[in-house]
Structure formats: structure tokens, C-alpha cells
């Protein structure tokens, strides 16, 4: 492996890496620091769980806690949900003292207070009939049921009530007793017992599983469309996780893996891209207000003599200096009054907006460009597969042609990284390190485009042997440059090099 | 047709929702709580719309005033809450009542329970009025009335303090 690396290092120089002295310097620094760091990034352990495994995980959590606190499982489940499935926190609070408050906060009747202290006016065991306060019908006691809080309704009304909550309101874990003002939660066994319709019970199970995943810090649904797996980690971190469906995402924020930019800035960026605020930026930069009536005007012709189309205004003014047209006299296309004070302020404001917009567009276009290319690389996989088959007919073994797939893999990784570097760069304040970063970015981008070119165009059956060497050199180089860039940014995070413009 | 016979002609009501409304109506006619009177003529055949007159309670800011509430029920009642609004010429001036008759009261949406009834809703509204110490419209009345959905249950209510 070592010797292999050496050859490609040498090849780099030949394969047209044009770099300035600065670049070389940057590379040296980064390479040495990345070598120091090689042992550092520890493995991030996670599991991909199917829905059944999630349910099992939930059951296991309940058992774990039950082993210690010895409560009915139904109550343990409600308690765990209350503590967002944080077992340690539950135990801590449980052994903390105030038992009544503990159960009250979780909306459970304290199971140790039996017979319960809440007055139960409706339960009079001597009579055989009770009135259900929902349907107002008289029912034999056997048909009436309720939770530990003592509010009893007929089983049919319970079923109807739970069904409405589950199907109409989409409530699972947090259905409370049907009595007005009673916040005692309905446990899962009771729901299962009282809901007659299997379809509703399935939905309930879904809701419960979903709330288990969503309120559990250590679990996250794979955000890929139609994927039903969830990822389980042992501690939360902004790390890439790969789902069984093939989707790679950041465990912390759920977005596509976005190294080197951090979750917070990525989120801000995505919001900015989505926002209409950029439309208003465009308006601000490409239009002007009529200096008299303030209606917004987009210039659509060449003449600078503007006549406001607002019928109540019809103000004549000069587009260039925003002063009134009159003193311009007959010098139509030549505004010689440019420096007049009144117009200067308005122009300065527009200038500022325009430059901030063009800055944004600079980063946005490059970001979008890589995103678009990344989408096209899916097509590339198909064409590469075809080429690999072709090559195998030209006396190359299966193993010998695998480099092509590897090359596309690396191409995609590089595009993904480059895309995110533009988000990072947009928020980055200029300093010496940011210039090194930009050099690294430029270098990776040049190499990535070259690799892309090889893969899309240059492979023909005639030059196979030759191109293989080139492609391999190039992707190894890309891979290495990508690592250098990322390590440099990570080092910056540790050493606090990065200042942001926000 | 006497009230009772009108009611009895309905005793063959079929759906659980109708059965319960039927029982509530009978009880409200037979033993109305003070200041609450259901307008029997307004009750439609399928019991889905009722008008109820309530009087301002003596010794409160609304003494001597008369108001009318419109209740609309769907066939999910009592599992789904009724739609309740003030109607008519006199909409009470109250910090939780908008000038279009919509009422900001949590038991009408989020805190609804099937164990509540028309009677308990009327009493809650009546006591909400009674505890008022200064007659004024909600602060966001103008905007709300202009922009809200006709059905107050479509409004995502942010409940003001309960003390007013």
C-alpha cells in the first residue's frame, strides 16, 4: 500500500496539478497535520433497526427499568415516555424522594396509594347499574370500565373515544382519561383491550413506535422517502450514518451528510435558499423606487428618461442619478449630474444590496452546480456499468474493472463535500486560514472536474490500459485532497480559526 | 304539538350521537339550569343545530342582558366537540368573545371531553361572562374577525389567561 501511495504522489505532479507556491505551502501544513490526526477519529457505533427491532428495543427498555423499579409494565412505559426514554433520568427522579409528585408529573395514578385517594363518586359497587356519562345510558357494572383515576364509562364509549383520538387526532402515547379535566394517561394495554378494530390498533402501534423514536435522543428515523428504518446510536453527535436503504445522513440534524459545514450553518443556509427573502433581494437589486411616489420600477428599456407609470404620479426622473429629469435638459443618454448628493444616498443603498446579492449568488450557483452534477452522477453509474462490461470483453477481468465504480463513488463524495464547502465559505470571514481553505477547495474542485471529465468522455476501448492508470491516479488524488480539505477545516474547528460573517 | 310529544316522536333515534343529543335535550327542557333556556323551535329534525338563550347573571357586568348561543353538532358528537358561537344582535363584549361571536374557550377545542355536555358548556360560558371585570373586546379582535375561518374550531386558539 505504501509503495502504491508513493507512485501516485509522483504521478500527481505529472497529471497536471497546477498549483501556486501558496498551495504547496498549504498542502504541506495540512498533510503533516492530517498525519498527526490519523489515529484520532474514533469509530462511531450505530445500529440500523427495523420497525420490529424498534418495538423490541422499546420492550427491552421497559424491562431494563422494570428490573429496578418493579412497577407494572404499562406504568413503566408511560413513565419512560415522560422522561423521553432516558432510563437514567427516570431512575434518578424515582429514587429522588417525592413519590406522589413523580407520578403526578407523569400523569399516572401512584400505584402505591391503594385504595386510591381520589374520590370516586360514580363507583358504587352495591348497585348493578351505572350511568355512563358519555352516552347517558344505564349499563350493568360489568360493561363499565375506567383507569385508576376512577372515572368510569361504558366500554363502547371508551372504544369510540380512543378510536377518535387515534384516527382523527393522531394521538397515541398521550391519550388521557375521557373525563373532563382528568389528565391520567391511558396505558397501552387498556387501549388494546378497549379498541375493537384491528386497523385502529395497528395505527395506535404506529403512533406509539413513532413517538418512541421521535422523543428518544438516541434514535432517528432515516429521512429517506418511504424508508422505515431507524438509526440507533450510543451517543448523539454530528456524524455520518448509513442506513440499510443506502442513504447517508447526519445523525444530529438528519440532513444529507454535510462535512465540512456544521449543522447550524447548513440549516441557516437551507432556510436562506428556501426563503422568499432572496426574491426581495433581487427586487432590491434590480429595481428602483420612483423618487416621488415610491412605486417599484423595473427598467425594461434603454432610455434613462423615466416617466413613472403610476397614473397619479407621472414623475419624470433620471434612472441613473434618480434626480428629477428637468435639469438634464437635452443631454438624454449622458447623465452629467451623477454626483449630486440627493441621489448619491439612494445609489449607495442599492449598491450594497447588489453586492451582497451577487456574493450570495456566487456561492449559491456553485453549491447548486455540484448538487445538480451529483444528480447526474446517477446516470454516470449506469454508463460506467456499461463500460465495465465492455472492458471485460476486452480481456480485462472483473476485478480489474472495479476501479471505475470506485472512481464514481469518489466523484460523488467529492461533489457532496464541495457542495458543502460553498455553504461553509459563504459564512466564512476572510483570514489566512480561510485563504488556505479556499486554495484547498479550488484544488479539490479542479481535480474533481478532471475526474468527471475522464469518466464521462475519455474512456474508449482503445485507450483502456492507459486511461485506467490516469483515472486511478486522479481519484486517489481527489480522495486525498478531499481528506486534506476536511482535516484542515476540522483542525480549524478545534483551534478556533474560523470567524463567521453572520 | 307539546314538547314532550315532540320529543317522544324522536325516541326512535338511531345513531349514538342522536340518542345522546336527544337525552340532553330532554334534560335541558325538563330541568334547565338557571338562566339557560333552549329554543325548542330552533332545534332541527336531526338535532344538529340548537339555539340556546342565556341571561346575564345578576350582580355581574352582564346583568339584564340576553344572549343567544348557536350549537352545531356533527355525527361524531360527543367524541368531537360541538361548534359553539354567539349569534344574534347582542354579542357580549368580553375579552374572550370576538365581535363575530367566536369564543376563545379551551373546553370547546383542545380540552373538550366527551363527558362534557351542552349544559356544562353553557354553564362554563355563563361563568366566563360572570367573572369578567371589564367589558372589552379581545385585543386582536379587528384582525381576527377579518381573517378567521367561519368555523371557530378551525382556529388554532392560543388560550389567554383563565382569570378574566
Q: Would you state the pLDDT for residue A278?
A: 65
| Whether the Cβ atoms of residue A417 and residue A408 lie closer than 8 Å to each other | no
The Cα–Cα gap between B85 and B106 comes to 13
Complex ipTM: 0.84
Domain boundaries, chain B: 3-154
The vertex-A141 CA angle with A139 and A142, nearest 5°, equals 105
- The catalytic residue among A250, A303, A318, A420 is A303
Q: Does domain B3-154 have CATH number 3.40.50.300?
A: no
CB contacts < 8 A, A to B, total 41
pLDDT value for A1: 40
How do residues A267-288 score in pLDDT, each as one tens digit? 989 888 877 656 766 776 677 7
Q: How far is B114 from chain A (nearest CA, A)?
A: 6
The C-alpha torsion from A17 through A19 and A25 to A26, rounded to 10°, is -80
Domains A48-215 and A352-495 fall in the same CATH topology: no
Q: What is the pLDDT of residue A33?
A: 40
A180 neighbourhood in chain B, CB within 8 Å: 107, 111, 113, 115-116, 120
Determine the topology of domain A48-215 in CATH. Herpes Virus-1 (3.30.40)
Work out the minimum CA distance from B115 to partner chain A, whole angstroms: 5
Query: Is B80–A135 a contact, with Cβ atoms under 8 angstroms apart?
Result: no
With helix as H, strand as E and coil as C, how does A102-163 read?
Answer: HHHHCCCCCCCCCCCCCCCCCCCCCCCEEECCCCCCEEEHHHEEECCCCCEEEHHHHHHHHH
Total Cβ atoms within 10 A of residue A70:
8
CB of B151 closer than 8 Å to CB of B105: no
Fold of A352-495: 1.20.120
Give the CA distances from residue A409 to residues A322, A387, A412, A455, B103, in Å, rounded to whole numbers and listed in that order. Answer: 55, 15, 5, 12, 60
A137·B19 Cβ contact <8 A: yes
B20 vs A contacts (CB less than 8 Å): 134-136
- Digit-coded pLDDT (tens) for A461-483: 667 777 888 889 999 999 999 99
C-beta atoms of B107 and A164 within 8 A: no
Tell me whether residues B107 and A180 touch, CB distance under 8 A: yes
**Residue ranges of domains in chain A:** 48-215, 219-261, 277-339, 352-495
Q: Which of B14, B80, B105, B113 to mutate to test the interface with A (most CBs of A within 10 A)?
A: B113
One DSSP character per residue, A21-39 reads: HHHHHHHHHHHHHHHHHTT
Strand partners, A287: A298
- Beta-carbon separation of B115 and A180 below 8 A: yes
- B120 contacts chain A (CB < 8 A): yes
Q: Does B96 touch chain A (CB under 8 A)?
A: no
Q: Hey, how many other C-beta atoms are within 10 angstroms of the C-beta on B83?
A: 19
Residues of chain A with pLDDT under 70: 1-41, 114-127, 276-278, 280-281, 284-285, 300-302, 327-343, 346, 350, 353, 458, 460-462
B104 is an active site residue:
yes
Amino acid at each position: 500500500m505504501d509503495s502504491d501511495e508513493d507512485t501516485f504522489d509522483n504521478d500527481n505532479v505529472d497529471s497536471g496539478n497546477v498549483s501556486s507556491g501558496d498551495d504547496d505551502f498549504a498542502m504541506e501544513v495540512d498533510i503533516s497535520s492530517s498525519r498527526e490526526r490519523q489515529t484520532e477519529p474514533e469509530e462511531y457505533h450505530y445500529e440500523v433497526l427495523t420497525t420490529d427491532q424498534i418495538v423490541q428495543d422499546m420492550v427491552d427498555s421497559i424491562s431494563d427499568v422494570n428490573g429496578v423499579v418493579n412497577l407494572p409494565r404499562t406504568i413503566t412505559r408511560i413513565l419512560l415516555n415522560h422522561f423521553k426514554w432516558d432510563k437514567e433520568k427516570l431512575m434518578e427522579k424515582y429514587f429522588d424522594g417525592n413519590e406522589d409528585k413523580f407520578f403526578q408529573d407523569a400523569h399516572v395514578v401512584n400505584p402505591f396509594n391503594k385504595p386510591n385517594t381520589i374520590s370516586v363518586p360514580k363507583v358504587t359497587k352495591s348497585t348493578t347499574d351505572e350511568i355512563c356519562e358519555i352516552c347517558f345510558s344505564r349499563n350493568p357494572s360489568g360493561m363499565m370500565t375506567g383507569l385508576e383515576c376512577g372515572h368510569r364509562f361504558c366500554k363502547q364509549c371508551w372504544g369510540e373515544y380512543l378510536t377518535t383520538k387515534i384516527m382523527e387526532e393522531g394521538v397515541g402515547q398521550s391519550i388521557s382519561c375521557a373525563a373532563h379535566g382528568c389528565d391520567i394517561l391511558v396505558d397501552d394495554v387498556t387501549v388494546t383491550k378497549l379498541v375493537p378494530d384491528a386497523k385502529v390498533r395497528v395505527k395506535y402501534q404506529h403512533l406509539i413506535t413513532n413517538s418512541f423514536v421521535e422523543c428518544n435522543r438516541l434514535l432517528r428515523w432515516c429521512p429517506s422517502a418511504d424508508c422505515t428504518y431507524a438509526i440507533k446510536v450510543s451517543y448523539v453527535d454530528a456524524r455520518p450514518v448509513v442506513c440499510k436503504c443506502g442513504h447517508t445522513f447526519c445523525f444530529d440534524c438528519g440532513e444529507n451528510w454535510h462535512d465540512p459545514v456544521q449543522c447550524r450553518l447548513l440549516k441557516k443556509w437551507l432556510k436562506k435558499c428556501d426563503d422568499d427573502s432572496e426574491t426581495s433581494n433581487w427586487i432590491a437589486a434590480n429595481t428602483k423606487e420612483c423618487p416621488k411616489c415610491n412605486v417599484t420600477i423595473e427598467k425594461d428599456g434603454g432610455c434613462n428618461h423615466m416617466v413613472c407609470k403610476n397614473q397619479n404620479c407621472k414623475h419624470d426622473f433620471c434612472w441613473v442619478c434618480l434626480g428629477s429629469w428637468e435639469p438634464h435638459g437635452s443631454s438624454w443618454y449622458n447623465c452629467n449630474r451623477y454626483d449630486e448628493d440627493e441621489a448619491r444616498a439612494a445609489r449607495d443603498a442599492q449598491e450594497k444590496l447588489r453586492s451582497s446579492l451577487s456574493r450570495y449568488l456566487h456561492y449559491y450557483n456553485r453549491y447548486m452546480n455540484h448538487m445538480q452534477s451529483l444528480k447526474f452522477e446517477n446516470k454516470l453509474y449506469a454508463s460506467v456499468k456499461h463500460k465495465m462490461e465492455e472492458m471485460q470483453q476486452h480481456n480485462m477481468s472483473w476485478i480489474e474493472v472495479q476501479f471505475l465504480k470506485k472512481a464514481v463513488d469518489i466523484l460523488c463524495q467529492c461533489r457532496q463535500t464541495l457542495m458543502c464547502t460553498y455553504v461553509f465559505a459563504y459564512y466564512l470571514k476572510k483570514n489566512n486560514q480561510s485563504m488556505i481553505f479556499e486554495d484547498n477547495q479550488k484544488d479539490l474542485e479542479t481535480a474533481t472536474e478532471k475526474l468527471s471529465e475522464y469518466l464521462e468522455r475519455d474512456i474508449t476501448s482503445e485507450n483502456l490500459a492507459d486511461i485506467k492508470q490516469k483515472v486511478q491516479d486522479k481519484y486517489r488524488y481527489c480522495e486525498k485532497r478531499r481528506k486534506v480539505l476536511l482535516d484542515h477545516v476540522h483542525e480549524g474547528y478545534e483551534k478556533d480559526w474560523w470567524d463567521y460573517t453572520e | 304539538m307539546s314538547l314532550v310529544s315532540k320529543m317522544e316522536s324522536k325516541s326512535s333515534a338511531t345513531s349514538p350521537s342522536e340518542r345522546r343529543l336527544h337525552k340532553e335535550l330532554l334534560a335541558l327542557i325538563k330541568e334547565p339550569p338557571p338562566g339557560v333556556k333552549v329554543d325548542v323551535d330552533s332545534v332541527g329534525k336531526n338535532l344538529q343545530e340548537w339555539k340556546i338563550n342565556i341571561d346575564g347573571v345578576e350582580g355581574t357586568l352582564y346583568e339584564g342582558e340576553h344572549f343567544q348561543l348557536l350549537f352545531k353538532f356533527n355525527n361524531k358528537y360527543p367524541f368531537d366537540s360541538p361548534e359553539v358561537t354567539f349569534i344574534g344582535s347582542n354579542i357580549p363584549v368580553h375579552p374572550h368573545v370576538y365581535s363575530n361571536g367566536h369564543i376563545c374557550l379551551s373546553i370547546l377545542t383542545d380540552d373538550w371531553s366527551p363527558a362534557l355536555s351542552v349544559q356544562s358548556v353553557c354553564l362554563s360560558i355563563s361563568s366566563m361572562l360572570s367573572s369578567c371585570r371589564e367589558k372589552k373586546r379581545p385585543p386582536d379582535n379587528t384582525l381576527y374577525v377579518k381573517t378567521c375561518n367561519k368555523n371557530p374550531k378551525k382556529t388554532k386558539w392560543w388560550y389567554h389567561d383563565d382569570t378574566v
